[in-house]
Amino acid sequence: MELLPVVLTLAVLAGSHTGMSYYLDMNVGSVRRMVVEYVPLAQNDVSKLKTVPLTSLAVHQLQQSITRAETEMAPGPIPAVAGDLGLTELVDLVVKAGLKDTLESAGPFTVFGPTNDAFSSLPGWVKEQISNVTVLGEILKFHVLPGKVESKSLSNELQVPTVEGRKLRINLYTKDSKTVATAQCAPVDLSRVDQTASNGILHVLDAVMIPPAGDLIATAASLPMFSTLVKAVTVAGLVPTLNGPGPFTLFAPTDKAFGKIPPGLLEKLLENPPELAKVLKYHVLSGTFCSAGLSSGDVTTLDGRNVAINVSSDGVVVNESKVIYADGSVTNGVVHVIDTVLLPPDYSLPDLTWARQ
Ligand SMILES: *[C@@H]1O[C@H](CO)[C@@H](O)[C@H](O)[C@H]1NC(C)=O
Ligand SMILES: *[C@@H]1O[C@H](CO)[C@@H](O)[C@H](O)[C@H]1NC(C)=O
Ligand SMILES: CC(=O)N[C@H]1CO[C@H](CO)[C@@H](O)[C@@H]1O
């Protein structure tokens, strides 16, 4: 809190002496026994102020003003602070889900508050889902942590339990020599973290977090477009790895992507689990690489060989595979859906010697 606006507010509240204002030391929390001559209090320059002793009446008036001003300036509960920050859609949805009373209760809570833009840019299927207030309530509770979790205590791959029950994952990256923080891959607005409310704190998010339905494998298995991937991962014996704690980043080819690989290759691979495992591991990175934290450059896959990531205004491309859906929320990392299977360098045609045999 800046001192000068406080001084001016109090001076106005205190009224009285024409042309006079009061200077308070809010840090000490007590009224300094001085009156200052009202010079135009331009740009934080308190050094020019002349001090004179206060009368006891003036001290009394000032103390009353301080009490009043403190009441007025004390932050409200989380929904009020969210409103002040312009997170009006969040506040509306909190009301709709019947969570306002909870978020105004003693708490304390930490809320990751998505902006209005974050809500309006949700994909249609999510908007449809959150038109159901039960689902909406679950998603909103996934944005609330019990207790106060300040931004300084966030660390890379930290998992924190939410009020909803499932954990969300924090990631910290360095991108273009700046720190990028994400919560379940939603970018955190680091210029608006640790916003104080009477019953907790609020960190602003640039996207809405979707609670993970399960781990990498369970999530892929629940979606019909990944039937080939799930079959391949099972045949290759990679399920115990990929449903482990990880965390992992999976570039997940759709069935359509598998349909584009050279004829016969998939059948050959399915008959050769160790080779299939190599190809599949070429789709997995160790660690959670959310799109907000991705930079262009080579990264090493679980297979040991590199893929080249290209981040541009056109989106994210991995070697020649385009990410068509980024930041799929899972419990043990993240899934980015790709439109083309990644083949390790020795699979480039026409060198498919082993597959030709
Ligand atoms: C809302 O979602 C819940 C939980 O998924 C479900 O049980 C309920 O039937 C849904 N309500 C409507 C009106 O669709
Ligand atoms: C990255 O993608 C952009 C846009 O498609 C392209 O112009 C650029 O050449 C690519 N960079 C590399 C290193 O491939
Ligand atoms: C097919 C293809 O482009 N493969 C490349 C993927 O990126 C790695 C790392 O830069 C290269 O070594 C591969 O040749």
CATH number at residue 309: 2.30.180.10
Query: How far, in Å, from the CA of 296 to the mean position of ligand 2?
Result: 9
**C-alpha span between 39 and 247 (Å, rounded):** 60
**C-alpha span between 21 and 12 (Å, rounded):** 8
Residue 231, token pair as written in the block:
């079959």
Alpha-carbon distances of 78 from 145, 204, 326, rounded to whole Å:
12, 12, 30
Give the count of beta carbons closer than 10 Å to the beta carbon of residue 56: 8
- Closest ligand to C-alpha of residue 300 is 3
pLDDT tens for 14-65 read: 433 333 344 444 333 444 433 343 334 444 455 555 555 566 676 677 677 6
Q: Are 10 and 25 in contact (CB under 8 A)?
A: no
Assess whether 345 and 246 both reside in one domain: yes
Domain containing residue 271: 216-356
Alpha-carbon distances of 274 from 212, 232, 240, 277, rounded to whole Å:
30, 11, 15, 5
Residues having CB closer than 6 A to ligand 1 are 132, 134-135
Q: Which of 306, 317, 322, 342 to mutate to test the pocket of ligand 3 (most atoms within 8 A of CB)?
A: 306
Residue 13 has pLDDT above 70, yes or no: no
**C-alpha span between 324 and 317 (Å, rounded):** 9
Query: How far, in Å, from the CA of 137 to the mean position of ligand 1?
Result: 11
Q: Does residue 247 have a cis bond before it (omega within 30 degrees)? A: yes
314 Cβ inside 6 Å of ligand 2: yes
Residue 210 lies inside a defined structural domain of this protein:
no
Residue at which a domain ends, from 73, 102, 133: 73
Residue 260 lies inside a defined structural domain of this protein:
yes
Three-state DSSP at 266 gives: helix
Residue 157 has pLDDT above 50, yes or no: yes
What 8-state DSSP symbol labels residue 94? H
**pTM recorded for the entire structure:** 0.81
* pLDDT value for 264: 86
Region 270-287 average pLDDT: 95
Query: How far, in Å, from the CA of 135 to the mean position of ligand 2?
Result: 40
pLDDT tens for 162-211 read: 999 999 999 999 998 999 999 999 999 999 999 999 999 999 999 999 99
For CA atoms 25, 28, 29, 32, give the dihedral sign: negative
* pLDDT value for 3: 40
Alpha-carbon distances of 189 from 45, 79, 110, 239, rounded to whole Å:
31, 18, 15, 36
Residue at which a domain ends, from 155, 175, 205: 205
Region 303-331 average pLDDT: 95
Average pLDDT over the chain, rounded to an integer: 84
Return the amino acid letter for 229: L
Residue 137 lies inside a defined structural domain of this protein:
yes
User: What values do phi and psi take at 181, rounded to 5?
Assistant: -120, 140
Query: How far, in Å, from the CA of 95 to the mean position of ligand 1?
Result: 18
310 Cβ inside 6 Å of ligand 2: yes
pLDDT tens for 134-143 read: 999 999 999 9
Domain count within the chain: 3
